[in-house]
Amino acid sequence: MTTPRRRIPVPALAVAAVGLALSAVVVVGGDSHSSFVRSFNDLAQLAAAAAAALTAGHAALRSSGRARWMWLAVAVGCAGWAAGESVWSWYELARGIDTPFPSLADIGFLLFPAAAGVALLLHPARGGRLTRSRRALDATLATSALALVSWETALGAVVSAGGDSRFALGVALAYPLSDFLLLVLIVLTFSRASGSRAQLALLAAGMAALSVSDSGFAYLTSNGTYDGGAIDLGWITGFVLIALAPLVRTPEEEASQTGKQPEAVTVLPYLSVAVAGAVTAARMLTGHPPTRGQTALSGAVVLLILVRQYLTLRENAALVGELAVREAQLRHQAFHDALTGLANRGLFQDRLGHALDLHGRDLRAVSVLFLDLDDFKVINDTLGHAAGDELLVRISERLLAAVRTGDTVARLGGDEFAILLEDGGDPLTVAASVELALRPAFVLDGSAVKVGASIGLVAVEPSDTATTADALLAKADTAMYTAKRSGKGQLRVFEEGMSLTELSDQRMGTALAHAVETGGLTLDYQPVVNLDTGQVEGLEALARWTHDGRVVPPSEFIPVAERTGVIGALTEWALDEACRRVAGWSRGHKQLLQISVNVSPPQITDPGFVATVTAVLARHRLRRGQLVLEITESSLLTDVVLARGVIAELRDAGVRIALDDFGVGFSSLSQLHAIELDIVKIDRSFIDQLDTDPRQVRFLRSLLRLGGDLGLQVVGEGVERQAQLDLLRELGCRLVQGYLLARPMPPDEVPAAIAGQSFAALS
């Protein structure tokens, strides 16, 4: 559907057209001395002005805000003029004498330009792109040019004709002066107007017709040649146009939108200069050489035009520059990730395609690393999206720092990143440096957050000439997925035969379930050593599985057990087995020997879990405080309220709760207050850099202090070097677990370990 064009109601147009045509015939064509023509002329002017006052008044009633005041001003001006014309007609027609000058009529007539000027000032202006200086120049230009015209015609003539009195001259001068000012206003308003241009055009044209007639009248009167005719028709026409202006129907939205400035409008200031030039030329040809003042003014006008041109040029140059910058921005936006500024998927695929083309030509090496962050969703859910976004930005910074120049790092979406390596070199080295770069914790909102990534790697073989970007990316994705399924923080190189099907999961899950049932799983035990006494404080039970002759690491089969639902049976078995063993080892042991069992996150809130645990405790007659359940932070997240309740029940039953892998997740020290815990186990990755990174030392010191305040035991996990142990001891960490002291061992080696022989590292 097309919007209807602006229209003036047909009857109004018809009346206007007939009236004007009649006026043209009678006023211009008729004998100006006949009383009929004079009467017709006066009444036609009166009628036109009154009609304009009426339509404008009606428009004022209908509109609101600025527009209402504008139409009101137009109505007042027209009504004033109509009143003046009534006085004039009364002298001329009723009393049959020439209207004296000045008279009351002049008050009404002069009210018009004043009110019209106010109306123009009230007309809504467009902000526009024009600079302030150019706008000021346009104003000066139009003013100067029109001043020149006015002076050479009406104003000059009126001044040189003089008047009967100063007052009479003043009134006489008021006409051309106010006309001149009104014309300037018309030019300026029209060149920067917003809203309905058709309305303003009619209004401005009407006012202009009136101003020109007015000045013409002043000019002709001053040299005694005024004889009605065309001048009077100008007045009638002017008011008819003004009367039509409020009748223009404008669709609402069109009236409110700030439309594009039509070419013709920008030309208006020049138009006034052209008129000035024409008038000057005509005056010179008719033997009126310009005065000095006029010459100076003309010179000024020329100068102003030059300055305006210069400013326009400069503005255009600036505009071109702006456009170029904007275009570059848009191009960047199209190819880059808005959050991190990395390449986006589109650009990555483009570069990869290009690299594969080159590979087809010269067999150069091309590899792709596909990264997916581990547990990013958990971070997002706990710390909030703002923190999640910040984390992504920091990660991308580290990735960029880890790769070589020439490698492309892209964010493919969410927490997925890809790196294109096309400069040769060993992709495994880059993968290792990426992994290393992500290792230090990120500090977000005062929380230390550790983020791992599962990485898939695919390298194009020299024989592989026909592969596509999509195919390669899919292989990298598959390798990443395989890495993720075999536990977190892993790297897998793509191999043919890797697939995304759940088939292998199912097969492994079934085998695992079978192993749990038939005693195919075993538990190794790793001592937790008390540094004060040098004795074994407790043991952590760690599941072991050998499947098809291969030792499957827990990082691989525990996730499978979780995904296939075997984990419930596995934990139940581990609990029973570990408690049975520790009950045996405790006989004849002086201290309380603790046993730690790992519990997978969703299990803690499993209905019946508490019952299972208490049954095991009863079955093997464990003492209060002897069983420790190790949970990770993510167990507390699924349903905090529920988890808290379960933890409280377990603690009532004499079970102690250890927060495992502390420092890997997202909890800050302050969050520890919220959960009822007994033990915090600091993750190996934190202990890892203890002897090289002073920040880790500071973190551990405050954690130990807080642990002390809260009555928490702190265990340092994964201690491999003597320097780490010494530091931990110095910081006051009493409990330690790690290869340096003892590796996880089969049950038959445990009695010797707990018998009290001292550990080499402690001596």
Q: Does residue 594 bind ligand C2E (CB under 6 A)?
A: no
Q: Does residue 380 bind Mg ion (CB under 5 A)?
A: no
**Which one of 205-213, 293-301, 590-598, 600-608 is the stretch in contact with Mg ion (CB under 5 A)?**
590-598
CB closer to Mg ion, 152 vs 661: 661
Q: Does residue 542 bind ligand C2E (CB under 6 A)?
A: yes
Q: Does residue 718 bind ligand C2E (CB under 6 A)?
A: yes
Shortest Å, Cβ 527 to ligand C2E: 10
Q: Which of the residues 42, 106, 138, 415 is marked catalytic?
A: 415
Site for Mg ion in 653-692 (CB under 5 A): 660-661
Among 153, 598, 635, 696, binds ligand C2E (CB under 6 A): 598
CB closer to ligand C2E, 450 vs 475: 450
Residue 603, token pair as written in the block: 């299990």
Q: For the stretch 182-201, what's the b/e string if a residue is b when 16 or more beta carbons lie within 10 angstroms of its beta carbon?
A: bbbbbbbbbbbbbbbbbbbb
Q: Does residue 70 bind ligand C2E (CB under 6 A)?
A: no
Among 526, 535, 586, 685, binds ligand C2E (CB under 6 A): 526
**Which one of 132-140, 203-211, 705-713, 715-723 is the stretch in contact with Mg ion (CB under 5 A)?**
715-723
Residues facing 7 on adjacent strands: 249
Under 8 Å CB-to-CB from 486, ≥6 apart: which residues?
Answer: 492, 555, 556, 559
The pair phi, psi for residue 520, each rounded to 5°, is: -80, -10
- Are 420 and 355 in contact, with CB atoms under 8 Å apart? yes
3-class secondary structure, 755: coil
The verdict on whether omega for the bond into residue 113 sits within 30 degrees of 0, i.e. cis, is: no
Q: Does residue 455 bind ligand C2E (CB under 6 A)?
A: no
How many Cβ atoms sit within 10 Å of the Cβ of residue 686? 23
- Are 187 and 249 in contact, with CB atoms under 8 Å apart? no
Shortest Å, Cβ 473 to ligand C2E: 31
Shortest Å, Cβ 661 to Mg ion: 4
Out of ligand C2E, Mg ion, none, what residue 542 binds, judged by CB under 5 to 8 A for its kind, is ligand C2E
Shortest Å, Cβ 478 to ligand C2E: 24
Q: Does residue 630 bind Mg ion (CB under 5 A)?
A: yes
Q: Give the per-residue contact string, 669-708, with ligand C2E (x = CB under 6 A; - = no).
A: ---------------x------------------------
Out of Mg ion, ligand C2E, none, what residue 718 binds, judged by CB under 5 to 8 A for its kind, is ligand C2E
Among 30, 360, 440, 554, binds ligand C2E (CB under 6 A): 554
d(CA 342, CA 339) in angstroms, rounded, equals: 8
Shortest Å, Cβ 358 to Mg ion: 46
**Total site size for ligand C2E, rule CB under 6 A:** 23
- Are 104 and 98 in contact, with CB atoms under 8 Å apart? no
d(CA 148, CA 297) in angstroms, rounded, equals: 7
The pair phi, psi for residue 419, each rounded to 5°, is: -125, 130
CB closer to ligand C2E, 106 vs 661: 661
Q: Give the CA angle between residues 548, 553, 557 to the nearest 5°.
A: 80
Residue 733, token pair as written in the block: 């960490």
Is residue 415 flagged as an active site residue?
Answer: yes
Q: Does residue 574 bind ligand C2E (CB under 6 A)?
A: yes
d(CA 51, CA 244) in angstroms, rounded, equals: 9
Residue 753, token pair as written in the block: 């370990």
Nearest to 193 by CA among 127, 136, 279: 127
Residue 443, token pair as written in the block: 């500090």
List active site positions.
415
Query: What are the residues binding ligand C2E (CB under 6 A)?
Result: 526, 542-543, 553-555, 558, 571, 574, 598-600, 630, 660-661, 684, 718-720, 737-739, 744
Query: What are the residues binding Mg ion (CB under 5 A)?
Result: 598, 630, 660-661, 717
